[in-house]
Copies of this chain bind each other. A is one copy, B any other.
């Protein structure tokens, strides 16, 4: 069933769809009075709801749905800003599907592009919209927050997190292959995990040194070289496997 986020709490057991959602439900899905959808309230509860008025896109709540689609830990993805067009969009769409709580792009040493102040708001709004749509499609009850930090230093200051990892392919070459497993076995429900990924050129040695001296642990993601947009998705799948399936 189609899911929409609403931005106001119900009044008299009724909610109103925001403009985009109203257009989609009434125009695209051709909903009529009585048509059903699922709505996620600002407090993240999910309800089955029925359309009561097409013009105002008002819905009556039918019953609460018991659904827990969120990862048991808060994952913050931090991705060195990729230069390739479409990669931030792919990371946001798939990262949302796979349960990220927050997705931050940051200007890494080897990031070719930067997001200047005058374009930043527009870039973030564009990606936030993708996260919104992906959260609806994957039936999540939270929309990840999309952010940007203009340096690694700023990122580390803004995201203390209970556990902090950086994906590093050299790590595997040096024989490390269990850091990710160890971390995911240690982390407890409700704790936070910051996972940092390099841009296309990778993370530089000086960045690794800086991070490891700032309580960020290097973790390998297996013996194959993963593209910059693939590594965060691999990582999120592992979090789900360890904490939701095992």
Contacts and interface: CB of A to CB of B under 8 A. Distances in A.
Interface string A207-246: 0000000000000111111110010011101101110111
State the main secondary structure of chain A at its contact with B: loop
Nearest to A229: B94
B99 A181 contact: no
Nearest to A243: B222
A138 interface: yes
Interface string A168-199: 00000000011011000000000000000000
Nearest to A219: B245
* Chain A interface size range: 35 or more
A97 B237 contact: no
A200 to B, nearest CB: 11
A244 B230 contact: no
Contacts of A246: 178, 181
Contacts of A244: 177, 222-223
A225 B139 contact: yes
Contact of A238 (B69, B220, B237): B237
Contacts of A234: 98, 233, 237, 240
Contact of A245 (B139, B222, B226, B230): B222
A140 interface: yes
Nearest to A185: B246
Max chain B Cβ within 10 angstroms of own Cβ: one of A99, A221, A226, A237:
A237
A151 interface: no
13 contacts: A67-B223, A94-B230, A97-B227, A138-B225, A139-B225, A140-B224, A177-B244, A181-B241, A221-B245, A222-B240, A222-B241, A237-B238, A238-B245
